[in-house]
Amino acid sequence: MTNQAPAFAFQPATKSTAKLRAALFGPSGSGKTFTALRIATGLGGRVAVIDTERGSASKYADRFGFDVLDLHQPNIERYQAAIAAAGRAGYAVLVIDSLSHGWQELLAEIDRLASAKYKGNTWSAWSEGTPKQRALVDAILAFPGHVIATMRSKTEWSVDGSGPKSKPVRIGLAPEQGKGIEYEFDLLLELSPDHVGQVIKDRTGKFQDVTIDRPGETFGAELAAWLNDGEPPPADPPGAQRPDSRAAVAPAAAPSGAPQPVRRSEASHTNGGNGSQPPQTITEAQHRRLEARINELRLDRERVKGWCKRAFGVEHFPDLQPRQYDRLDEKLEEFSDIADREAAETAQGDDTAPVDPDERAEFWAEYDDAAAAASQTGSGRAAAGQGA
């Protein structure tokens, strides 16, 4: 029996209403909390705040109306539970102030795991840490309303001018969160110590590279107008698989307490396990996202492809199956960490601790073996070495 390609039907694109996923970052004193509350107010509706900053948001309770949850011991599981609780309560806007504490807790947990279970090998410990980080991102993307997350950025000082009139100027650097976290948001707003916002990423297309002095309610209202302009997202037919949960748009009319979207790879496979249809492969959107992440993390694309060939027997990214895609996605940041440390070994004057060759070999071998096992047991292939 000849396998026939599935029929695809294209139709005119239409703009759908959407929910905002925004991240604000800047150094201490740049006004992240205050700005987030102003924008949330402009978006409209009930506002909830997850506060990990020891009551920082509540200092503005006389200026804004919102409900707050002071999140002590902000580990990943507690973030997830708090986000889910806000979704069940039906809040229109969720402010997470801040995400940086979750990253700091995760780094501390990795150190504990490395010491307790992996003989000090942090690369192996990330096999447990990376899924937790991804679970937090998925919880944010699954929230049925708007999300505004703040992140701290490392502070650095430079000198403005020269001679007796020179003065130190505080500048912000990258946000204190996992590599690639910026990719998950629709809008990235970098705040300066002078409370000036620079839009460095904007999927609305209206504010890209715009500089906003003290962004606030008006900016939030403009975002709301753009997000609400369009047709309601089409409902999924019964039994249909949802698209990749890393898309930044959530259903506009999701009822309070509705089940969270599932990752495509967690949904049932279309072939029903009977082998009557070709294995399901990743979508074009997932392929584009994978290529973008590889570029963003400055990875050697051929090295990543080589890992896929050894682990899954897949030579080309579009031929990845959803579970293989998920497995690779978990590892990209870890590959980036290794590449950074390998590069640091040859950098002149770099005091970064070199990667121990045995540790590096153990890392690659462990994940090659684990990924191959996942391919054999979960992907539907007869063997990991089978051609794509």
Give me the domains of the chain, ranges plus CATH numbers: 21-228 (3.40.50.300), 284-378 (no CATH)
> Token digits for 386?
């089978």
pLDDT value at 41 more than 90? yes
Of 60 and 252, the structure prediction assigns the larger pLDDT to 60
Convert the pLDDT of each residue in 308-358 to its tens digit: 988 899 989 999 988 888 888 878 877 877 777 766 666 655 555 555 555
Q: What is the mean pLDDT of residues 283-297?
A: 78
pLDDT value at 179 more than 80? no
Of 371 and 270, the structure prediction assigns the larger pLDDT to 371
Q: What is the mean pLDDT of residues 21-38?
A: 92
Q: What is the mean pLDDT of the chain?
A: 75
Q: What is the mean pLDDT of residues 244-263?
A: 34
For the chain, the helix, strand and coil percentages under 3-state DSSP, each to the nearest 5:
45, 15, 40
User: What 8-state DSSP symbol labels residue 50?
Assistant: E
Give how far Cα 96 sits from Cα of 25, 48, 197, 374, Å: 12, 9, 18, 34
| Cα separation, 332 vs 278, whole angstroms | 27
CB distance 50 to 83 below 8 Å? yes
> Token digits for 110?
């990795």
Max intra-chain CA distance, the chain: 84
| Cα separation, 249 vs 143, whole angstroms | 10
| Cα separation, 211 vs 189, whole angstroms | 9
Q: What are phi and psi of 143, to 5 degrees?
A: -60, 135
Lowest mean pLDDT of 45-59, 71-85, 289-303, 334-348, name the range.
334-348
| Cα separation, 170 vs 322, whole angstroms | 45
Rg (C-alpha) for the chain, rounded Å, is 23
| Cα separation, 10 vs 342, whole angstroms | 46
Residue 84's pLDDT band (cuts 50, 70, 90): very high
What's residue 74's pLDDT? 87
Residue 31's pLDDT band (cuts 50, 70, 90): very high
Q: What are phi and psi of 308, to 5 degrees?
A: -60, -40
What's residue 335's pLDDT? 81
DSSP 152-208: EEEEEEEEESSGGG-EEEEEEEEESS-TTGGGG-SEEEEEPTT-EEEEEEETTSSST
Lowest mean pLDDT of 37-46, 127-136, 187-196, 372-381, name the range.
372-381
**Angle between helical axes of 284-296 and 301-312 (0-180°, round to 10):** 130
CB distance 128 to 144 below 8 Å? no
Beta strands in the chain (DSSP E): 21-26, 47-51, 67-70, 93-97, 146-160, 167-175, 187-191, 196-202, 211-213
| Cα separation, 3 vs 24, whole angstroms | 49
Lowest mean pLDDT of 88-92, 103-107, 192-196, 208-212, name the range.
103-107
Q: Is the pTM of this model over 0.75?
A: no
Residue 294's pLDDT band (cuts 50, 70, 90): confident
pLDDT value at 211 more than 50? yes
| Cα separation, 309 vs 372, whole angstroms | 10
Q: What is the mean pLDDT of residues 235-264?
A: 37
CA 366 distance to own-chain centroid: 25
